[in-house]
Amino acid sequence: MKRPPMGRRHLDVPAVLDYLEARLDATAMARVEDHLAGSCSRCRELLHEVGRLVDAMRADRTPPVPAAARARALTTFGVRARVQDSELAAWRRARLLFDSLAAPLPVAVRRAVGEARWLKFALDQHVLEIETEPESGEQVTVRGRLVAPEPAVHRIELVAGSETLTAWPDAGGRFTLERVPTGAARLTVESPDHRWRLPSVVL
C-alpha cells in the first residue's frame, strides 16, 4: 500500500515528542506544523495530551517525603491493626474524676470559661480532660487533652446518636471534635496496647 506523503501522515508519539522537544530538523518541523495547521483534530489532540503529560511531569517538583512524616502515617494503621487483632484486649473502664456540671466551678473560673463544661477522666495512669462548648441548640464542640506518653498514637472515638466521630491527638495531646450532636455520648480511647471505655455523658 502506498504511504501518504509526510505532511499528510498522522503523527505518532515519537514524532510528537521530537516536535515538543525540538529534536526535529527544520524540514521535519515544517512538515509537522503543516500537518497540525490542517484539519487533523486527531493529531492536535495527541499533541495536546502528550504535551500536557510532559508538562505535568516537568512541573512536579515535590521533594522526597520526610521519613518522620511517613512514620506518623504508618502509625495510624498500627493502632488500628493492633487493636483489631486483639479483640482480646479487654476494655478498661475509665473513671470520671471531675464534671463541672456536678461540681460547679468558682465564679471567677466560670466567668473565664463561659458556657463551657469541663470533664476529667482517669485512664489508669493517664488523664483525659475535655471541654464542651455549645455551638448551636443541637451541637457542641468538644476540645480535649490527653495526658499520656505519646498521645499522638491514641485514637479517640465519640459516638453520639447515629454519629461516630474520631480524633487523633496532636503531639501535645490536644484534639477537637466539632459539630457533635447533643445528648448521650460514649467515648473510647485506644492506644497500641490498651483501650478504655469512658462512662457515658450527656452533652
Partner 1 sequence: MTPEPARLDPLEDQRLVDRCLRGDAAAWEALVRRHERLVHAVSRSYHLSESDLGDVFQDVFAALVSGLPRLREPRALVRWISSTTQRIARATALKRRREQALSAAPETIPELAAGDPPVGADLERLEEQAMVQLGLAALSPRCQRLIEALYYEDPAPGYSSIARRLGLPMGSIGPTRARCLERLRAAIEAVTRAPSRISERDRPTFDSGTGGPEGFRLGSFVERLGQPAREDSP
The residues that touch partner 1, with contacts defined as CB under 8 A, are 12-14, 17-18, 23, 41-42, 44-45, 47-54, 56-63, 65-66, 68-70, 72-78, 80-81, 84-85, 152, 155, 166, 168, 170-171
Element (H, E) at 69: helix 67-85
Nearest approach in angstroms of CB 196 to partner 1 is 18
Core vs surface per residue 87-117: b (16+ CB within 10 A) or e: eebeeeebeeeeebeeeebeeeeeeeeeebb
Cα torsion angle, 17, 21, 23, 24, sign: positive
The residue among 86 and 200 lying less far from partner 1, judged by its C-beta, is 86
Secondary structure class of 15 (helix, strand, coil): helix
The residue among 3 and 58 lying less far from partner 1, judged by its C-beta, is 58
Cα torsion angle, 151, 152, 155, 160, sign: positive
Residue with cell 462548648: 133
Nearest approach in angstroms of CB 5 to partner 1 is 22
Nearest approach in angstroms of CB 156 to partner 1 is 10
The residue among 9 and 72 lying less far from partner 1, judged by its C-beta, is 72
Nearest approach in angstroms of CB 141 to partner 1 is 13
The residue among 101 and 113 lying less far from partner 1, judged by its C-beta, is 113
